[in-house]
Amino acid sequence: MTFIRLAGVGRTVALPDGNQLEILTDINLEIERGEHIAVVGRSGSGKSTLLNIIGLLDSPTTGVYELDGQPTDVFSARARARLRGATFGFVFQQFNLLPRRSATENVAAPLLYASGRQVWGRRAAAREMLERVGLGQRMDYLPERLSGGEQQRVAIARSMVRNPTVLLADEPTGALDVDTGSTVMDMLQHVVTEFGTTLVTITHDLSVAARADRQFRLDHGVLSGLSAADLPSVTAQRSGS
């Protein structure tokens, strides 16, 4: 069964001047479990809005969004929040780490809201995830002592610590230089592949998008498929990772 299914999804917002702004128009998108897809598009094209709808942070104003065969518009706010926490991990361009907390505490933070684990169990899970992203030597560092690439790896560990079904990454390399971004994407792909996590990456970088199984372009709120001919070769990246 298709895991994520958007059919005719639109998103319109009412502007203060009384006009309507149509951010997304007739989005049709189906994503299978374990697939990696990428969405490219210019700033303002609606990428974050689409990702937020998929992650249940926002809702369509028209059309249908089904998650695992279930229409998502029937849930209460509380049920949506619970489903969001159990299903999705998020990674953002700005790493959004808690500044006064160590890497371990940052990664353990999402587990505070999940039931069933004591403090030591949360710390152990966080430390194991930090090992997986190659930060075994940095677990007690505050974010300010970490490089941008390391901070994003902490954020990735935090997003994966509850073993989400889907990881939603909004411009994950947007604040990193090209080489660091490539290393971070190698690591992210490695971790999600290991866990069988579905990955949706929003990027304006075609070489980042080219790593996915399928690519789409968002242009003024309209989604279309990209073909291999639109993408740079990724042979070098794949063999290097």
Ligand X SMILES: Nc1ncnc2c1ncn2[C@@H]1O[C@H](COP(=O)(O)OP(=O)(O)O)[C@@H](O)[C@H]1O
Beta pairing partners, 86? none
**49 forms part of the interface with Mg ion (CB under 5 A):** no
**47 forms part of the interface with ligand X (CB under 6 A):** yes
Nearer to ligand X, 41 or 143 (CB): 41
Beta pairing partners, 222? 219
**41 forms part of the interface with ligand X (CB under 6 A):** yes
Nearer to ligand X, 34 or 174 (CB): 174
Task: Report the alpha-carbon distance of residue 82 to residue 41 in Å, rounded.
Answer: 30
Candidates 44-52, 109-117, 183-191, 205-213: pick the segment binding ligand X (CB under 6 A): 44-52
**13 forms part of the interface with ligand X (CB under 6 A):** yes
For residue 156, report the phi and psi dihedrals to the nearest 5 degrees: -70, -45
Task: Report the alpha-carbon distance of residue 7 to residue 27 in Å, rounded.
Answer: 6
79 binds, among ligand X, Mg ion, none (CB under 5 to 8 A by kind): none
3-class SS of residue 98: coil
Query: Which position among 1, 18, 19, 43 is part of the footprint of ligand X (CB under 6 A)?
Result: 43
Nearer to Mg ion, 47 or 132 (CB): 47
Minimal distance in Å, beta carbon 23 to Mg ion? 11
**203 forms part of the interface with Mg ion (CB under 5 A):** no
**48 forms part of the interface with Mg ion (CB under 5 A):** yes
Minimal distance in Å, beta carbon 99 to ligand X? 25
**23 forms part of the interface with ligand X (CB under 6 A):** yes
**20 forms part of the interface with ligand X (CB under 6 A):** no
Residue with tokens 């498929």: 225
Residue with tokens 């970088």: 205
Query: Which position among 4, 27, 46, 158 is part of the footprint of ligand X (CB under 6 A)?
Result: 46
41 binds, among ligand X, Mg ion, none (CB under 5 to 8 A by kind): ligand X
Candidates 45-53, 86-94, 125-133, 186-194: pick the segment binding ligand X (CB under 6 A): 45-53
Task: Give contact residues for ligand X (rule: CB under 6 A).
Answer: 13, 21, 23, 41, 43-49
Task: Give contact residues for Mg ion (rule: CB under 5 A).
Answer: 47-48
